[in-house]
Amino acid sequence: MTPDGPKSSSKRREIRAKHVKKLSSGEKDESENKRVPKREREGKSVEEDEPLIKKAASTIAVETADNKPKTSDSYLSKTRFDQFPLSPLSLKGIQDAGFKTMTVVQEATLPIILKGKDVLAKAKTGTGKTVAFLLPSIEAVIKSPPVSRDNRHPPIIVLVVCPTRELACQAAAEANILLKYHSSIGVEVVIGGTKLPAEQRRMQKHPCQILVATPGRLIDHIDNTSGFATRLKGVKVLVLDEADHLLDMGFRRDIERIIAAVPKQRQTFLFSATVPDEVRQICHVALKQDHEFVNCVQEGSGETHQKVTQMYMIASLDRHFSLLYALLKKHIADNSDYKAIIFCTTAMVTRLVADLLGKLSLNVREIHSRKPQSYRTRVSDEFRKSKRIILVTSDVSARGVDYPDVSLVVQMGLPSDREQYIHRLGRTGRKGKEGEGVLLLAPWEEYFLSSVKDLPITKSTLPPIDHDAVKKVQKALSQVEMTNKEAAYQAWLGYYKSQKKIARDTTRLVELANEFSRSMGLNTPPAIPINVIGKMGLKNVPGLNVAPGFDKRPGKKNYRSR
């Protein structure tokens, strides 16, 4: 391969990882708690949302030549990029990236976007949505009039909003790959976890036309960075990546503020692998009335990848840790180049599970919101590049993160909803590859299955757990620090308190939490400060171990952080 020739996908990944690393420098862990969707923090559901308004928009189902909707997992189309009026420099960048033909979602959305229309696009996980919105965005920058060098507030032409820092950095890294030959176009990222003045200085030094941001930090800049609001007045393209998540109750107010800060006269793209009906009905807050809905996904089994086998296991909580261990051991034995992701319900449960698997001598890393951003970036980068590794994570890694070759995704406990289940599962089987997904539930969580009954998820027999393995897990649990168990117990309780069906009977909820406590090897449930119990709405519920006084640990207002 010539130095400038098409890149192999591993080379491309390396380049992107380098970009991500560069983009996401930051030392302080500015907890993501405040950005955890309020719906999840407070247990509110979409049903409690504002009245839904009916919306008229044309829907385009992507069809094959024989007019049947695409059912195969082939994420690539036969259409070449040069069949569209894209700038030669973009085409050169695409060639260098090693992209030969467009993916289905790119082929379906590009012609509509190039006509100037707003688009709401739904396409499976790992099928190239990022490039689908970046390419036409770059074209919009190229078509914009040049800006004079002495303009003190050079306009931001494209604003991309992503729900997490990892995703924002990843999108910016992908943009940098596409912009390889566009030396006059710049991309910047603004995310939490870094100091605001540092970002302000960086933006001043490198005025960009494309800005990728997380909602909270973007609003910080609107409020506190001089000239920033003026720069946003230049926006011609607004992108909401993981749009359904950004439009749900947790982010909605921020998104409404962001929309108010950019001109009405603009093009808007909403992309996600899941677009629930509620989101279709409220998307008018961002999109024009005559937008197109491009649906590259068949309802039901079409929403997940055929090459990813989906199984669920039902077992009492006291067996979950041993089951997880048995499951991982079997997966490792069967897959020499295994790469597994374990999703847990909260940050503190994530820490507990990571700690436990580490004590069981598995090669484990952890990512959640309580880790500093610099650590998160480093671990994410390492996991992206490595094989024979397990990542234990909270939902900060559920959406959009593009780790190649993940062979197994385990979801422990109740996913927050059907969409989250699909996005988490979507970390495997990317770009048409094979993968395996296991959902591990307790019997009282089985009701969740009704929300995914149209997906090809089947019941699995439980892997055999020998006596030695149980002993090993118990020993490992006894070595896990008590403070980690206490924090996991409290977080567990907070999470399930936000699950309406379970929280309805608070006495039962506490009984279940105490079952979880026993599964960690504790005879007595950890004590919870009385003020925290009050805030959780669990005052006087029998079974709780009440500690007098206040929980003074930093950032303790929210019981669940991701």
457 neighbors 310 (Cβ within 8 angstroms) = yes
129 neighbors 102 (Cβ within 8 angstroms) = no
Which candidate, 466, 467, 527, 487, places its Cα nearest to that of 354?
A: 487
Tell me: does residue 558 bind ligand ATP (CB under 6 A).
no
Phi, psi of 42 (to 5 degrees): -105, 5
By C-beta, is 160 or 273 nearer to ligand ATP? 273
Q: Which DSSP letter does residue 44 get?
A: -
What is d(CA 42, CA 529) in angstroms, rounded to the nearest whole number?
A: 19
What is d(CA 105, CA 60) in angstroms, rounded to the nearest whole number?
A: 11
User: Which range of residues in 205-213, 424-432, 487-495, 513-521 is near ligand ATP by CB under 6 A?
Assistant: 424-432
By C-beta, is 193 or 400 nearer to ligand ATP? 400
Q: Which of 102, 112, 392, 509 binds ligand ATP (CB under 6 A)?
A: 102
Tell me: does residue 99 bind ligand ATP (CB under 6 A).
yes
**Type and span of the H or E element at 269:** strand 267-272
Angle between helix 215-224 and helix 196-205 axes, rounded to 10 deg: 80
By C-beta, is 37 or 126 nearer to ligand ATP? 126
* Residue at token pair 């490792």: 332
79 neighbors 310 (Cβ within 8 angstroms) = no
Q: How many CB atoms lie within 10 A of CB 478?
A: 10
By C-beta, is 373 or 397 nearer to ligand ATP? 397
Tell me how many residues contact ligand ATP (CB under 6 A).
18
Which candidate, 329, 352, 315, 312, places its Cα nearest to that of 472?
A: 329
Binding mask 112-131 for ligand ATP (x = CB under 6 A): -----------x-xxxxxxx
Q: Which of 358, 400, 415, 529 binds ligand ATP (CB under 6 A)?
A: 400
Binding mask 166-185 for ligand ATP (x = CB under 6 A): --------------------
At closest approach, how far in Å is the CB of 548 from ligand ATP?
46
At closest approach, how far in Å is the CB of 219 from ligand ATP?
23
User: Which range of residues in 97-105, 371-379, 458-466, 497-505 is near ligand ATP by CB under 6 A?
Assistant: 97-105
**Type and span of the H or E element at 210:** strand 210-213
User: Which range of residues in 35-43, 82-90, 95-103, 261-269 is near ligand ATP by CB under 6 A?
Assistant: 95-103
Binding mask 401-420 for ligand ATP (x = CB under 6 A): -x------------------
By C-beta, is 295 or 322 nearer to ligand ATP? 295
What is d(CA 120, CA 295) in angstroms, rounded to the nearest whole number?
A: 8
Tell me: does residue 431 bind ligand ATP (CB under 6 A).
yes
By C-beta, is 126 or 529 nearer to ligand ATP? 126
Q: Who contacts 48 (Cβ-Cβ below 8 Å, separation ≥6)? A: 249
Residues at the contact surface with ligand ATP, assessed by CB under 6 A: 99, 102-103, 106, 123, 125-131, 273, 400, 402, 426, 430-431
